[in-house]
C-alpha cells in the first residue's frame, strides 16, 4: 500500500527533521507538511506544505478529506516554558488539536497516528532516578498535565475505538538542524550555538540540574521504529518511556570545553524554568521500549557533543 503521511506541526523542532526523514523513506510526494503559519526562511520543507490549524476542526478536516492520510504525526504543541506564560492557549492547542486528530483519524480510517508525549508527564512525587513507566504522576506544568491527559485519551481511543495511536515520552531533544521552541530543556541546544559564536553562554538552569536528554537523530529513529513495529508487539498505548542520556549543564559544559577550551558557562538565578526542571526526572527507565520494539539509543555525551559541534561548524 502507498502511504500518504500528514505531519501536523511540521515547522517545529521535531517536525522539520521528521518531514526530511519521512521524505527519504516514502518519497516527498507522499508527505504533506502542515503548520499554522508558513515556514520561516530557515526551514525549507522538501515536501508540499499547507497551512493547517489543529485547533480548528474544519481546517484539520479539510486536510484529512483532501489527502486521506494513512498515517498522521501530530506534533503541534506549546511546550513547558511557553505553556506557563499562556496556560489556556497551551491547553487548547495541546488538547483540542489531539481530539480533532483522533476523531478525524477514526472517521477517515487513518491506519496509524503518532502523537508525542514528554518526560513532563512526571511530577514532584514521581521517583526522579530511573523513573519507571508506571508510577505516581503529578505534573505541575500545564504542558505536563496536558501531555498526561493526552496520553489517557490516546489509550482510551485505542481501547474503545481500536485506533492505532502510538506515542513516546520524549526527553529534551538536541539537534543541529532545527531550533527548540519554548521548552525547559532548550538550553542544551542554545549552548552549542553560543559556544561556537561567543565562547560563552548563560544557562537558565543551575549547574547540577540533571535531566534526561536525547540526540535528535536517536529521537527520529525511535519514532520511525515505533511506527514500524507490528501493532501486536506494543504493550503500551499511553506513551513509552524513552531514554537517551542524562547530564547537567556543568557536565555538558565540561564536554564542550574539550573542543572549545575558552568556553565559559555562567548560570542565571531565579529563572522560572528551574522550577519546572526540579519537578522532572533525572533519568528514565525505558525497559518497555527496549523489550517491545528493541529500542537502543546510539548517542552518549561525547558523541552528542562531537556531532553537534561538528555539524554546526560545517553548516555555518
Ligand atoms: C520541554 O522542555 O518542554 C520539552 C520536553 C522535555 O518535552 N523539550
Nearest atom, ligand 1, residue 212 CA: 6
**In the listed set 224, 259, 288, which residue is the last one of a domain according to the structure?**
224
What the block records as the C-alpha cell of 306 is 562531537
Query: Within this chain, do residues 85 and 181 fall inside the same structural domain, yes or no?
Result: no
Give 153-207 pLDDT, tens digit per residue: 999 999 999 999 999 999 999 999 999 989 999 999 999 999 999 999 999 999 9
**Measured in angstroms, how far is the CA atom of residue 29 from the centroid of ligand 1?**
31
pTM strictly above 0.80: yes
Domain assignment present for residue 235? The answer is no
* Closest-CA residue to 50 (of 31, 23, 22): 31
Closest residue by CA, ligand 1 atom 8: 172
Nearest-10 Cα torsion for 177, 183, 189, 191: 150
Kindly indicate the confidence band of residue 271, based on its pLDDT and cuts at 50, 70 and 90: very high
Query: Ligand 1: does its nearest atom lie under 6 Å from the Cβ of 183?
Result: yes
Q: Among 15, 77, 118, which residue has the most ligand 1 atoms within 8 Å of its CB, making it the best to mutate?
A: 118
Query: Domains in the chain: how many in total?
Result: 2
161 labelled catalytic: no
Instruction: Let me know: does 206 contact 237? Beta carbons within 8 Å.
Output: no
Backbone angles phi, psi at 168, to 5 degrees: -125, 145
Is any ligand 1 atom within 6 A of the Cβ of residue 219? Answer: no
With pLDDT > 70 as the criterion, what percentage of the chain qualifies? 100
Specify if 11 maps to a domain: yes
- Cα–Cα distance for residue pair 94/52, rounded to 1 Å: 15
What whole-number percentage of the chain has pLDDT above 90? 97
Measuring from atom 4 of ligand 1, which residue has the nearest CA? 183
Residue 39 alpha carbon to ligand 1 centre in Å: 21
> Which pLDDT belongs to residue 170?
98
CATH number of the domain to which 29 belongs? 3.40.50.720
- Please state the separation of Cα 68 from the chain's center in Å: 25
Q: 26, 73, 143, 161: which one is catalytic?
A: 143
Tell me: do 26 and 131 sit in the same domain: yes
| CATH code where residue 203 lies | 3.90.25.10
Sign of CA dihedral 167, 168, 172, 177: negative
Residue whose CA lies nearest to ligand 1 atom number 7: 118
User: pLDDT per residue over 224-241, tens digit each?
Assistant: 999 999 999 999 999 999
Average pLDDT, integer, range 94-109: 98
93 occurs within a structural domain: yes
- Distance between Cα 275 and ligand 1 center (Å): 13
Q: Does residue 146's CB lie within 6 angstroms of at least one atom of ligand 1?
A: no
pLDDT at 201: 98
- Tell me whether residue 229 is in a domain: no
What's the gap in Å between 171 CA and the centre of ligand 1?
7
CA distance 5 to 20: 12
Considering the domain architecture, whether residues 99 and 116 belong to the same structural domain is answered as yes
* 2-33 pLDDT tens trace: 999 999 999 999 999 999 999 999 999 999 99
For residues 74 and 54, the answer to whether their CB atoms sit within 8 Å is yes
Q: Is 291 left (phi over 0), alpha (psi -120 to 50) or beta?
A: alpha
User: Do 13 and 141 reside in the same domain of the chain?
Assistant: yes
How many whole angstroms separate alpha carbon 151 and alpha carbon 153? 5
Tell me whether 0.85 is exceeded by the ipTM: yes
299: Cβ contacts below 8 Å, ≥ 6 apart: 214, 215, 217, 218, 244, 245, 307
Reported confidence tier of residue 1, pLDDT bands at 50, 70, 90? confident
Listed in sequence order, the residues at least 6 apart from 59 whose beta carbon sits closer than 8 Å to its beta carbon are: 51, 52, 53
Residue 153 included in any domain: yes
* Confidence (pLDDT) at 181: 86
Q: Are residues 157 and 17 in the same domain?
A: yes
In this structure, are 163 and 291 located in the same domain?
Answer: no
Q: Are residues 178 and 166 in the same domain?
A: no
- Which ranges of 108-199 would DSSP assign to H, the alpha helix? 142-161, 187-198
Amino acid at each position: 500500500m502507498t502511504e500518504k503521511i500528514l505531519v501536523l506541526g511540521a515547522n517545529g523542532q521535531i517536525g522539520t527533521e521528521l518531514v526530511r526523514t519521512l521524505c527519504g523513506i516514502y518519497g516527498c510526494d507522499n508527505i504533506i507538511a502542515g503548520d499554522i503559519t508558513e515556514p520561516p526562511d530557515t526551514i525549507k520543507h522538501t515536501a508540499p506544505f499547507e497551512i493547517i490549524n489543529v485547533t480548528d476542526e474544519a481546517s484539520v478536516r479539510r486536510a484529512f478529506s483532501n489527502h486521506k492520510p494513512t498515517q498522521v504525526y501530530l506534533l503541534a504543541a506549546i511546550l513547558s516554558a511557553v505553556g506557563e506564560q499562556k496556560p489556556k492557549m497551551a491547553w487548547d492547542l495541546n488538547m483540542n488539536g489531539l481530539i480533532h486528530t483522533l476523531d478525524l483519524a477514526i472517521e477517515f480510517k487513518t491506519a496509524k497516528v503518532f502523537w508525542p508525549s514528554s518526560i513532563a508527564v512526571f511530577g514532584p512525587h514521581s521517583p526522579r532516578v530511573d523513573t519507571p513507566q508506571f508510577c505516581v504522576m503529578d505534573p505541575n506544568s500545564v504542558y505536563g498535565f496536558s501531555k498526561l491527559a493526552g496520553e489517557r485519551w490516546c489509550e482510551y481511543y485505542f481501547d474503545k475505538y481500536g485506533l492505532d495511536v502510538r506515542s513516546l515520552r520524549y526527553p529534551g531533544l538536541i539537534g543541529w538542524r532545527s531550533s527548540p521552541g519554548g521548552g525547559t530543556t532548550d538550553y542544551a541546544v542554545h549552548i552549542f550555538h553560543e559556544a561556537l559564536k561567543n565562547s560563552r553562554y548563560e544557562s537558565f538552569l543551575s549547574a547540577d540540574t540533571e535531566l534526561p536528554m536525547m540526540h535528535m537523530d536517536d529521537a527520529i529513529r525511535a519514532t520511525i521504529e515505533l511506527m514500524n513495529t507490528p501493532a501486536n508487539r506494543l504493550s503500551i498505548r499511553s506513551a513509552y518511556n524513552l531514554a537517551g542520556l542524562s547530564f547537567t549543564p556543568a557536565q555538558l559544559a565540561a564536554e564542550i570545553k574539550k573542543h572549545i577550551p575558552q568556553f565559559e558557562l555562567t548560570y542565571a538565578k531565579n529563572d522560572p524554568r528551574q522550577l519546572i526542571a526540579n519537578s522532572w526526572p533525572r533519568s528514565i527507565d525505558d525497559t518497555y521500549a527496549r523489550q517491545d520494539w528493541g529500542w537502543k539509543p546510539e548517542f552518549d555525551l561525547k558523541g552528542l557533543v562531537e556531532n553537534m559541534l561538528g555539524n554546526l561548524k560545517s553548516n555555518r
